[in-house]
Amino acid sequence: MKNLRNEMILASAGSGKTYRLTNRFVHLLALGVSPERIIALTFTRKAAAEFLDEILKKLSTAASNPGFATELRDQLELENFGSTEALKLLRLVIDRLHLLTLGTLDSFFHRILACFPAEFGLGAKFEVLSDHDAIAARARVFASVYANRTTEDEFIEAFKKSTFGSEEKNLQSILDDFVTSHHQTYLRQPNPSRWGRKETIWPGSAPWLEPRSTPEEACRHLRAATAGFHLDKKALAMWEGLLDFLEHLPGAQKSKPSDTTLERFLLAYTKAMRGGPVDLKFNRSPFTLPPDLCASLADLGHHYLAFKINPYLERTQGIHQILRIFEDTYGQQIRRAGMLGFLDIRLLLNGTLLSENWHQELSACGGEGKLHVDYRLDGKFDHWLLDEFQDTSNDQWQVIANLIDEVLQDSGGQRSLFYVGDVKQAIFGWCGGDSALFNDIRNHYNSRRPDCIATEQMQDSRRSGPALMETINRIFGDTATLRSLFPDHEEFLQRWEADWVPHTTHHQDRSDYVELLTLDEDPESEESSKERGFAAVAALVAEIAPHEQNLSCAILVRTNDDALELANTIRARTDVPVTVESDTLIGSDHPIASSFVSLLQSAAHPGDTTAWRHVLMTPAFAAHPCQEHGSLQRRIQRRVLTTIHDSGFGATFALWLDLLAQGGFVPDEFARHRIDQLRQSAEDFDADGNRSIADFIRTIESAASREAPAEGVVQIMTVHKSKGLGFDVVILPDFTAERNVKSITSPGILSLVAHQSGVGLHREIDWVLKMPNKDVCLADPTLLEARQKLENERAYEELCVLYVALTRAKYATHILCVPPKMASDPDATPKGSTREILHTTLKQDSGVGAARTLGEEVLTRVYALGHPDWHHTHRGTRPAPKQETRIPPVHQRRPFPPIPRALPSSGADDAHAEKQGSHFLFSRRSREAANHGTKLHAVFERIDWLDHLTPSTLEETVLTGLDPADPSQSALREEILTALRAPAILALFQRTRFGPDPTLWREKRFEIIHEGSWVSGTFDRVVLTAEEAWILDFKTNRVSTPGEIAAAAESYKSQLAVYRHALSRLTGVAPENIHTHLIFTKPAVLV
Amino acid sequence: MPTTRRFLDWNRPVLELAAERLLAGTTPPVLDLGHLLVVVPTKNAGRRLREMLAHLAAREGRAICPPQVVPPEFLLSLISGPDDGRAASPEEALLAWVTVLQKIHLDDFPALFPVPPANRDFQWALGTARSLNDLRNTLAEGGLSIAGTCELLAESLEEAARWEDLARLEAEFVATLRQNDREDLLTRRQANRQSPQLPAGITAIRVIACPDPIPLAIEVLEHLGEQLPLEVWVHAPGSLADAFDSWGRPIPEAWAQRRIEFPGGELPVHVLPGPDAQAALVAGAIPDGDTPSAVVSIGILDDEVTGPLRRLLEKDGRPPFDPGGTPLRSEGVLHLLRVLRELLEKKGIEAFAMLLRCPDFDAYLAKTLPQWNAVEALRVLDSSRRKHLFADLPSLQGWFARPGGNTASSLTGALEVTGQFLARLGQQPLTTSLLDGLRDLLGSRPSSADPRPARVQQTVSEAMVPLLEAVEGPIGTSLKLRASDLFALLLATLEQETLYEERRPGSIELLGWLELHWDEAPHLMVTGFNEGFVPESLTGDIYLPEGLRKRLAELTRFPTNESRLARDTYLFEALLQCRRDGGRVDFCLGRHSRGGDPLRPSRLLFLCADEDLPDRVRTLFRDAPLPRGNLAWTPGFELQPFPGNPPPYAPKTLSVTAFREYLSSPFTFYLRRVEGMETVPDDPQELDALGFGNFCHEVLRQFGAHPEARESSDAAQIRKFFRDRVDELAVKTFGFHPPLPVRIQLDGIRARLDQAAEVQARSRADGWRIIKSEYQLDNPPFVLKGVELHARIDRIDEHEKTGAVRVLDYKTSDKAVKPETAHWTKVTKGTKLDWVPEYARFSIDSKNFRWKDLQLPLYRLMLKSEYGDAIECAYFTLPKAVEETAILPFTELGPSECTHAQNCAEGIIKDIRERRFWPAPSPKAKDEFHRLHLGAPLKTFNLAPMNSPRPVHEKPAE
């Protein structure tokens, strides 16, 4: 095999990334690499499946089409490759289907951990927590924390610190918020010295940490100069009020100046820091602070900043303390007990969660202190293919870093890395994606070994036409315009420019179309802009009628709620079929589900009148007289609790549907669909055997379901979901509030990820601080830098989202939105919203203002490019609907269909029914009785004939092995002896009683079809002669009086009847010649 | 005696062929096969064989004595040695492992336990014991022990240090058994493997269509074959003799390249989107008629198909029958055991609530307590939990057992009985306590007509017997189990058990992969025919990776993925072949799981000629046809207000605060006040807003009522009074050790009251004296439009110099709100007024307002007769930002505003009487009634009964 290059592919949207990946895979196969030695990882299972499908498609086409095989051969630069070789490879891949590692990073990690549980401190098995399990786990941890007396005081102190003593209500929701928002940050950086510590955030100190004068001194200087400012009365009062406030910090809250005054002061402070002079204005009275007074103003600013920042430091420390206490318990009770989230798995594998003493690196071949991954996984991975690499998080990279390092260090050329992605589509930064890794890896390895990783750019779109590509280039290549919208975000723009390559299209001759339509606000309209906009989208969809033209069509929105709302608008206004490709909370969006939840809640908490009255308002009981509601509640509660316990929540849901039906409710088609989904969810819950109503309600209310994909429909989804997909037509509605990407409004904790120089790919959180207000950040260079970094990241990601949305279409993109604020107010400060970007970059002289009517709305066409009638020249690419599958009927019948089975002793036998009862089942005495019976039968089975019975023969033949000294055995001995001493019983054990040559059966099984049932039974003892037969059945019932014996005998009547019938069928002896006997051993009675 | 292979040609199902051939071997007059030991692959195959024999006999009007039909595992009992009670049962083996794991120093086994477990408790020991036991059992199936494996592979063993640790641990395990006078069953079998003991009366053996018996069973058969005639019947044509070994197992090499043709050249494979579609397709193909089970059986390879298929079959009146049974772990009785364990271990209050909801415990209580009332007990439990926020069961018990506690309630009785029951479960010997406890508990409910609960109990009971015997035996005794450990052990055992159901008449069989070969239905529909489900393939075993298995297979008969593939390829072909001349097999496969995860077609479907492979791949890897779907959300049904046709809502009294609720939303007013809806929190752990406010109010009430304290103008003194009262009230409400969240809340209350003390001191120093505290305004009642208004005024002050009177209302909301902001809001252009009644709007100085609250104006009106017209009104706010604590006067409130307020109140009373609760503003997202209105009352409620026409309102003057 020739040496393989390691490659990094930067593939723009639609440029054939999957094509390249699958080519790489086929190339490796063609070079003789076994499929199981290739590992291909991506981010979704769907993408992984498509990857395999594509490989198989490629090989199967090549195998049956020599022309295609030749094409492939040329593309892969292979020497000998044709249909024959393709077929061989196809067979190889199919035969090794089970050995292929084509999946997601997380499933690969799961597989590794499952092979090394003990090595990561877990028990033999672990489970991945679902979302609702994770919530329940968190609640359990908090309950433990609350119950832990040793950490109680520390926790209270930490809580007060974290909230700065200002929170005492809704404690649980605050703590939940801390944990959901910040637990991951804590796990990545647990070191307390990084949380809210001045010395870490401002390592060389900061000006505000070292004021040169006291506030009193600074105020004295400023007051002394005030007369010279010539302020009017009101301005003077404001100025002096400000000084008073600043002088008496922190105790002067009551005389706190307005927020605007303080913002103005901080602005002046930043100027004063630069030496001044500083211009100020109060109540329209301007004045200037000369440079000599600027120092005093700066000192006051230092004190104010300290006053503002210190609480954030303290709160951050408090949050750290809470997270530490939480994590201590969580780690012990949840994680190490084997309940893990996907993040836990990553952090366990990359060593974050284990002590350094214990952590071992993953390795392909084991060795000193390394875990031998290949061995335990039954797979040796020589060739790594990583897809969508821009979405890889640092946590994920750290898991595989060592395994890939071994590949890249291998200079033999027999192992390789191939990673593909597009940093312009890095839209998952919010969940950890670190697109900077992309280049960092290449740079890191190339710095060690030049050309270790080769780079290739792919910018020729195989998806979109020329108008679409030109629009993309106009928007994303116009850095001058972008700069005007992001004047303070040079870092982000530089990064974008560095990654940007003008796009070209493979389909230069294609007719395609892009338009940008705006919907003006209508203050008279009772409908909101969103409602009007969605109605316009519905009209557009009806106009395009993709379902009639065989076109695939997607509408991309930003939130799942918008997707659901838009779907309902389209369904209500048009006949165009739509489906929502996002999760629907099936347990909390529909009256059937919510009333069922109330039914359960009222059963669990009869005092919950909200729940009970809700139940009463449903069709099930709305007509029930109100005077009987009390007794009804008791009845229903019992029935519900019993059904839950005995049969589960699925059956209880069925019960609820019955009750609704009895009240006249007839489900429509949607309700039936939802009923099926809910029933399934309830049955899934039941599988664990959990009968906790609270757990069930939590689970069902968070149960998400995606609408089943359907043929010929418009798909509505979020832009994030659309990544990797292509459609003939794409509609992008944007009618929600304009997103100000440049302002970080509620950032929670600001956490910074810093790249540490010299350590290569190692990333670590430098410090953590709860983000102070913007004005405070502006006044401190460190905080300002941190904030700008976040803003840059956010702006970059927003631009990526827009890029993804605009690169999905093959033929047409329709963008519909309200105009950005700046369109009507040229003086408005740009927010950097996508609407502004579109309007500014696509501004056109021609075509502007052309009206476009969609339904009842008239929109303005702000931009248009290409051929609006493109669909006249193209057939859609959506595959034609496939025929519905049907299974043809079979007319043969099996001669003997399976039938129910019956025991001869079942049915009328009361003794059997009694044996089913818990008093029998869970009684030690009945267990002993059962053992006794078994032993007694075993003894009788040993008896052949007793014609010449003597004490010694009895002892030798029958009672052998029964120790008279053992109390339990001696009782058995006694019972048998007593029975056999009874002449009537003994006679039946004497051969001579039955003529010359009787046949004897002992413990003889039989099978018979009897009255439509299959009966299996065992005769205890049967004696057969030519004309007659005797059936003996031993009974160990504890009966003694004649009445008891008669009653017991009566209960065995049906059993004996079956036995008689069976024996007759077995032997041919007429039933009337078959004698049946019951031997009650305890009273030694024969019946 | 050499074994004989016989080939039953696979042109017919093996079940029929085997039964017929067995029957042909009988000699009249009695159809007696009792001398035969017949080995079949599974228990269900045995069952079907005996049933088929019964049918064949019945065809001739006969019954039959069946052979002893056993699965291969049974053969191991023949080498288990004498029944002397010394061989350790599986349960004893498990306990021995637990003993070893509790005893050893983990540091001595560094390769096996490289990282110490977080909690080295019984649960850990039990889980680890299971996995080690499983490893040993797996090795034993191949005739190996851990030590034997080490020896066999010697130097070539990967991770040798880990295996050495395992072997040392195994030695400890065997030694532990020995110390307790028990022998390791696996060792016994090793010792006896060459001398199996046959059951009495057996004179010949038939091994029928067993393509994959466990290796040790084959060794047993080899030895039995030396003693008596043994025939191996292979379900395949003789022409394939070379493809099977002497035991009828497909030879991997012979089957690896096998190419399988489908009958008629048709590909009976259905590619479908997911489990629901598979279920629908199969259910739709079940023929009409009385006995569809005569035609069809269904194979279930993917469990996700089971649920939807069962539902569809049941809906169509075709009861399904799954001979594989259902897991016992999903039964309610296990939930009861889990709850008891939780109570024994953690004494959690939620577990106690769950216990009360268990019907068995409910019945037990009903039997024990004459006045037992579950509804009342749960109500009292919830309300006292909400009020007192008990941390655990002992706190709850302590509260109800305190002197003066309510001894009459059902809950008190339940607490007592529960305490006694739990104490009883902890008594030695634990096994007796457990048995007695379960007998009493499970025996309390009257038996039901449904046989299922009884079957569940029987399964539990049968699984318990060997476990309890093991616990009572020497190993169990030496473990010194606690009651909660015993429950853990019991649960771990029961969770592995299966509940078998009885076949109902006409049932459609739902069969697993290995059962299908022994089914003879002409039409077999196999669902879930996906890779991962078939062929069986094991990967990622923590001790036995495939590489190691292969090495073991080279040296022993250990099964590998290759041998399983050969077996499954053979079974696949056999299914097709035996229906070639009269029947059909349909294979359904899903492209996605229910959760949307992609699935692949089974490799078995590609065992075609190479030239057909590209087409086959394209066909089976194609996208599944999707349904055409377009279902818009519809509500299904509307909720009916005023259910049960109650008399009209005509309150004789109204509290002053009710008006705020109506003004906030008539709809919410209706739900809360008319329907009386009150939500109970599930698991309260902290004071809610109401509880928090009530606590503060109570302290302030006591202050206002205290003749000396209230006269003080010394902030420190007042602060001390407040603090003392907070402490007293806290102990009274929450006991001496309040739960942690409450401690934090109490600190918050203290901080607010500290600041309130300052404000109060200043107020007193300014001359304001408290003259009334918590003043109940109902004598004489204030009547408005025939309705008595009720109010309890927080406090009334009088100025000692001016004689001025002011009404104060304490506000403990987080933010300080001025009275005017709370009472009215200015109407601007954008204000949505569509739902606001005319009477709720008023104008002052040509500015338009609407009422939000009428509290203080109504107080003023109500107090007019007592204190005249010049009463001042104010809020005493105690907000979270304590520096904002203040007395905020309502200076804007004058006589004309009060008149407007009165008009508004009268309008509300009229509307309430006329059941007018709609229109109303859109409910807030996720308010406490969200479950009812789902954010869209217009769609979820029948609003007509609460929407009686109201005179058209004019738009307010601009």
Q: Could you report the per-residue pLDDT of B896-920, keeping only the tens digit for each? A: 999 999 999 999 999 999 999 998 9
Residue B192 lies in a domain: no
Say whether pLDDT at A430 is over 80.
no
**Which residue does chain B place closest to A635, by CA atoms?**
B375
Domain check: are B700 and B677 in the same one? no
Instruction: Name the nearest CA neighbour of B308 among B520, B626, B590.
Output: B590
Decide if A607 and B383 are in contact by the 8 Å CB cutoff.
Answer: yes
Residue B625 lies in a domain: no
Look-up of token digits 């004698």:
A1075
Instruction: Among B115, B442, B644, select the one facing A118 at the smallest CB separation.
Output: B115
Domain check: are B352 and B438 in the same one? yes
* B815 lies within 8 A of chain A by CB: no
Identify whether B857 is preceded by a cis peptide bond (ω within 30 of 0). Answer: no
Query: Could you report the per-residue pLDDT of A810-834, keeping only the tens digit for each?
Result: 999 999 999 988 777 777 777 888 8
* B523 lies within 8 A of chain A by CB: yes
Domain check: are B934 and B832 in the same one? yes
Q: What value, to the nearest 5°, has the Cα angle with vertex B124 and ends B121 and B127?
A: 150
**Which residue does chain A place closest to B334, by CA atoms?**
A689
Say whether pLDDT at A908 is over 50.
no
Is A6-121+343-458 assigned to CATH 3.40.50.300? yes
pLDDT of residue B285: 94
Q: Are A939 and A958 in contact (CB under 8 A)?
A: yes
Supply A180's token pair. Answer: 């959901």
Supply A954's token pair. Answer: 């009895």
Residue B627 lies in a domain: no
Q: Are B440 and B425 in contact (CB under 8 A)?
A: no
- Overall size of chain A counted in residues: 1087
Q: What value, to the nearest 5°, has the Cα angle with vertex B152 and ends B146 and B156?
A: 105
Supply A241's token pair. Answer: 């009020």
Decide if B51 and A898 are in contact by the 8 Å CB cutoff.
Answer: yes
Q: Which residues of B touch A640 (CB under 8 A)?
A: none
Query: Could you report the per-residue pLDDT of A567-601, keeping only the tens digit for each?
Result: 888 887 888 888 888 778 888 889 999 999 999 99
Q: Are A577 and A714 in contact (CB under 8 A)?
A: yes
Q: What is the ipTM of this complex?
A: 0.93
Q: Which residues of B touch A647 (CB under 8 A)?
A: 332, 452
CA-CA distance, A1008 to B53, in Å (whole number)? Answer: 9
Q: Mutual orientation of helices B613-620 and A45-64 as an angle, nearest 10°?
A: 150
Choose the mutation target among B630, B683, B743, B917 for the interface with A, i.e. most A CBs under 10 Å.
B630
List B residues 854-913 in contact with A (Cβ-Cβ < 8 A).
880-881, 883
Query: Could you report the per-residue pLDDT of B508-523, keeping only the tens digit for each?
Result: 999 999 999 999 999 9
CA-CA distance, A584 to B171, in Å (whole number)? Answer: 55
Residue B389 lies in a domain: yes
Decide if A879 and B596 are in contact by the 8 Å CB cutoff.
Answer: no
Instruction: Please tell me the pTM assigned to this model.
Output: 0.90
Give the burial class of B541: count Cβ atoms within 10 A of its Cβ; 0-12 exposed, 13-18 middle, 19 or more buried: middle
CATH architecture of A485-581+725-756+787-872: 3-Layer(aba) Sandwich (3.40)
- Name the domain count of chain B: 6
Q: Alpha helix locations (H) across B237-357? A: 252-256, 275-284, 303-315, 332-346, 349-357
Say whether pLDDT at B664 is over 90.
yes
Domain check: are B834 and B857 in the same one? yes
Q: Are A335 and A278 in contact (CB under 8 A)?
A: no
Supply B418's token pair. Answer: 């529960």
Query: Could you report the per-residue pLDDT of A715-762, keeping only the tens digit for each?
Result: 999 999 998 889 999 999 998 877 777 666 545 566 666 554 444 567
Give me chain A's average pLDDT, please: 88
Q: Which residues of B touch A900 (CB under 8 A)?
A: 502-505, 507
A995-1003, Cβ contacts within 8 angstroms, sequence gap of 24 or more: A995/A1025, A997/A1025, A998/A1023, A998/A1024, A998/A1025, A999/A1023, A999/A1024, A999/A1025, A1000/A944, A1000/A945, A1000/A1024, A1002/A940, A1002/A941, A1002/A943, A1003/A937, A1003/A941
Domain check: are B690 and B671 in the same one? no
Q: Is B69 helix (H, G, I), strand (E, B) or coil?
A: strand
Say whether pLDDT at B761 is over 90.
yes
Supply A781's token pair. Answer: 């260079």
Say whether pLDDT at B956 is over 50.
no
Buried b / exposed e over B431-456, threshold 16 CB at 10 Å, is bebbbbbbbbbbbbbeeeeeeebbbb
Say whether pLDDT at A449 is over 70.
yes
CA of B616 to nearest chain A CA: how many angstroms apart?
9
Q: Positive or negative, the Cα torsion across B742, B748, B751, B757?
A: negative
Decide if A890 and B934 are in contact by the 8 Å CB cutoff.
Answer: no
Supply B272's token pair. Answer: 């479908």
Query: Could you report the per-residue pLDDT of B923-949, keeping only the tens digit for each?
Result: 876 789 999 998 888 889 999 998 877
**Which residue does chain B place closest to A1005, by CA atoms?**
B65
CA-CA distance, B789 to B786, in Å (whole number)? Answer: 9
Query: Could you report the per-residue pLDDT of B567-611, keeping only the tens digit for each?
Result: 999 999 999 999 998 899 999 999 999 888 889 999 999 999 999
Residue B899 lies in a domain: yes
Decide if A591 and B119 are in contact by the 8 Å CB cutoff.
Answer: no
**Which residue does chain B place closest to A646, by CA atoms?**
B332
Domain range for B27: 4-80+197-248
With bands split at pLDDT 50, 70 and 90, how would you rate the model's confidence at A909?
Answer: very low
Domain check: are B306 and B338 in the same one? no
- Overall size of chain B counted in residues: 958
Look-up of token digits 């059993």:
A1055
> Which fold does the domain A901-1086 belong to in CATH?
Lambda Exonuclease; Chain A (3.90.320)
Domain check: are B723 and B820 in the same one? no
CA-CA distance, B819 to B873, in Å (whole number)? Answer: 9
Q: How far is CA B864 from the centre of its chain?
A: 60
Which residues, at least 6 apart from B329, have a Cβ–Cβ distance to it below 8 Å? A688, A689, B494, B495, B496, B497
Rounded to the nearest 5°, which phi and psi values hold at A396?
A: -70, -45
Instruction: Among A53, A170, A922, select the one facing B435 at the smallest CB separation.
Output: A922
**Which residue does chain A place closest to B621, by CA atoms?**
A53
Look-up of token digits 């506000």:
B811
The residues spanned by each domain of chain A are 6-121+343-458, 130-337, 485-581+725-756+787-872, 583-617+643-706, 901-1086
Helices (H) and strands (E) in chain A, counts: 41, 32
Say whether pLDDT at B330 is over 80.
yes
Q: Are A514 and A467 in contact (CB under 8 A)?
A: yes
* Pair type for strands A370-372 and A361-363: parallel
> What are the C-alpha distances in Å from B365 to residues A872, A901, B406, B409?
78, 38, 18, 13
**Encoded amino acid at B793, one letter:** I
Domain check: are B515 and B436 in the same one? no
Residue B469 lies in a domain: yes
Compute how many other C-beta atoms are within 10 angstroms of the C-beta atom of residue A777: 22
Asked whether the domain spanning A901-1086 has the same topology as the one spanning A485-581+725-756+787-872, the reply is no
Supply A993's token pair. Answer: 């009683």
CA-CA distance, B617 to B622, in Å (whole number)? Answer: 8
* A704 lies within 8 A of chain B by CB: no
Supply B454's token pair. Answer: 């009884």
Decide if B503 and A898 are in contact by the 8 Å CB cutoff.
Answer: yes
Domain check: are B487 and B599 in the same one? no
Decide if A1066 and B30 are in contact by the 8 Å CB cutoff.
Answer: yes
Supply A299's token pair. Answer: 């000192």
pLDDT of residue A709: 64
* A648 lies within 8 A of chain B by CB: yes
> What are the C-alpha distances in Å from A648 to residues A679, A681, A767, B498?
11, 12, 50, 17
> What are the C-alpha distances in Å from A148 to residues A156, A162, B745?
12, 20, 18
Please provide the DSSP assignment of A42-89 as one string: ES-HHHHHHHHHHHHHHHHHHHH-HHHHHHHHHHHT-SS--HHHHHHH
A198-205, Cβ contacts within 8 angstroms, sequence gap of 24 or more: A198/A313, A200/A766, A200/A767, A201/A767, A201/A769, A201/A782, A202/A782
Domain stop point among B766, B795, B823: B766
Decide if B522 and A622 are in contact by the 8 Å CB cutoff.
Answer: no
Higher pLDDT: B623 or A515? It is A515
* B678 lies within 8 A of chain A by CB: yes
Please provide the DSSP assignment of A814-856 as one string: EEEEPPPHHHH-TTSPP---HHHHHHHHS--SSSTTEEEEETT
Say whether pLDDT at B950 is over 70.
no
> What are the C-alpha distances in Å from B710 to residues A57, A171, A818, B881?
88, 32, 61, 24
Q: Which residues of B touch A124 (CB under 8 A)?
A: 127-128, 130-131, 542
Mean pLDDT, rounded, for A21-37: 95
Mean pLDDT, rounded, for A209-236: 88
Residue B189 lies in a domain: no
Query: Could you report the per-residue pLDDT of A95-112, keeping only the tens digit for each?
Result: 999 999 999 999 999 999
**Which residue does chain A place closest to B441, by CA atoms?**
A918
Mean pLDDT, rounded, for B152-170: 92
Domain check: are B530 and B595 in the same one? yes
Domain check: are B860 and B929 in the same one? yes
Give me chain B's average pLDDT, please: 91
Say whether pLDDT at B957 is over 50.
no
Identify whether A277 is preceded by a cis peptide bond (ω within 30 of 0). Answer: yes
Decide if B931 and A597 are in contact by the 8 Å CB cutoff.
Answer: yes
pLDDT of residue B504: 86
